[in-house]
């Protein structure tokens, strides 16, 4: 799966990067 960046580059989706970022955000919310 690929996504297009705002500047037009095509980049492969890194699901581990996304999930780690989401889990960090959720950790901040669950205080």
Q: What is the pLDDT of residues 1-31, one digit of tens each?
A: 888 989 999 988 888 888 888 888 888 776 5
Instruction: Give Cα 1 to chain centroid, integer Å.
Output: 13
Task: Tell me, yes or no, if the pTM score tops 0.85.
Answer: no
Q: Residue 18 has which token pair? A: 């996304």
Alpha helices (runs of H) in 1-31, residue ranges in sequence order = 15-29
Q: For residue 23, what are the domain limits?
A: 1-31
- pLDDT for res 31: 57
What is the number of structural domains in the chain? 1
- pLDDT for res 7: 95
């Amino acid at each position: 799966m690929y996504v297009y960046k705002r500047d037009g580059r095509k980049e492969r989706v890194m699901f581990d990067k996304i999930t780690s970022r989401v889990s960090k955000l959720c950790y901040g919310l669950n205080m």
